[in-house]
Structure formats: structure tokens, C-alpha cells
Amino acid sequence: MAAAPHPNGPGALVALLARTGEPIADRIEVPRGLIGRVRGLLGRRGLALGTGLLLAPCQGVHTAGMRFPIDLVFLDRQGRAVRVEHEVPPWRFFPYVRRSHRVLELPPGTLAVAGVRVGDLVVLGEPEAHARTAAW
């Protein structure tokens, strides 16, 4: 018998703030291929709470052409936040963030509610792996 699809959708990741053990988002998309990465959040009207987009590898992003503000957390190779940006409006540019390896784009206000700050470890993984940990 085939396994039921995960409620977060195929390929979705979760993000956990290691310092608190609390989730940041539980439905993070990872765009596949060049077209998915280039499109990113363009054309969308917003992001639902608990969702996000992970760009990897990535050292810079922009919000040109977007219709809504977003929160950004730039992560190094180990998953530590090297830059945190709250409620970034459309038409802002972050062309290069030193030590950034991945960027997590989230609904506005998400990082403030979760308490994410520079230096925090953000753990990204499959929903099932986090469900088995005591911290989740």
C-alpha cells in the first residue's frame, strides 16, 4: 500500500529555530531548476502563514516586481543566520550578503514572532525527521 502524501506537500521542508525548539515555518518550498529560482515569489499575491521559499545556493536576493513585503533570513553553510531582514518592501536589493549560502523568504512578521536573530541556528529538514525529535 502506498504511503499517503504528506500534508505539507511533496518536497516541502520545515524550519526550526534551534535556540527555542519552535517552528519558524512548516511548508517551505524549494524551487527546482533555473526557471523556478528566477520566478521565486514573483506573480504571487502573498505568502500564507507557515509557508516560505528557500533559495540555495544563494548570496543575494531582490524584491523587484513583488506585490508584498517579505521577511528574509540569510543562512551560512551551517544554517546560522548571518543577516535578518524584517518586512522588506518591494523594490529592495540585497545583491551580495557575505557568508550567505541560502536565503529563506517568509511572510512578513514571521521572524519577529519566532524571535530569529543573527547568529541563530535554523534547522531545515524533512517534516518526518523533525517529528521524530524531542525538540519538535
The string over 104-132, giving b where at least 16 C-beta atoms fall within 10 Å of a residue's C-beta and e elsewhere, is bbbbbebbeebebeeebebbbeebeebee
3 state SS of 108: coil
Helical H runs in the chain?
Answer: 33-39, 110-114, 127-131
Which one has a higher pLDDT value, 84 or 136? 84
Q: What is the pLDDT of residue 90?
A: 94
Q: Return d(Cα 3, Cα 60) in angstroms, integer.
A: 38
Condensed to tens digits (0 to 9), the pLDDT of residues 23-59 reads 999 999 988 776 666 666 666 678 889 999 999 999 9
pTM score, whole prediction: 0.83
Amino acid at 1: M
Condensed to tens digits (0 to 9), the pLDDT of residues 65-109 reads 889 999 999 999 999 999 999 999 999 999 999 999 999 999 999
In the DSSP assignment, the letter for residue 89 is P
| Average pLDDT taken over every residue of the chain | 84
Q: What is the pLDDT of residue 3?
A: 32
